Amino acid sequence: MLVNGNDMETKGSISVKQLLDLMGIDDSAVVVEADCRIVPRDKYNEWLLDEASRVEIVAFVGGG
């Protein structure tokens, strides 16, 4: 799987939520795009990713 441009090995399919947990990312502060589609936050537990998936995780950053 390709995550933010970096190869990542996973064993079989995992959900978006499992990927975020594995990476230590708080799912309330990010937007996830999988295979050119924005993943709705309420689908993180059921949206499955596999070794062919291309994922972009974008974090919100405050500032002014």
Dist. CA 56–CA 37, nearest whole Å:
10
What is the rounded average pLDDT for all residues in the chain?
94
pLDDT surpasses 80 at 3: yes
Rounded average pLDDT over 29-36:
96
Strand 48-49 versus strand 14-15 pairing type: antiparallel
pLDDT surpasses 90 at 6: yes
Per-residue DSSP letter, 38 = E
Residue 64: predicted pLDDT: 64
How far is residue 26 from each of residues 6, 12, 17, 49, 60, measured CA to CA in Å?
A: 19, 23, 10, 18, 11
pLDDT surpasses 80 at 63: no
Residue 11: predicted pLDDT: 84
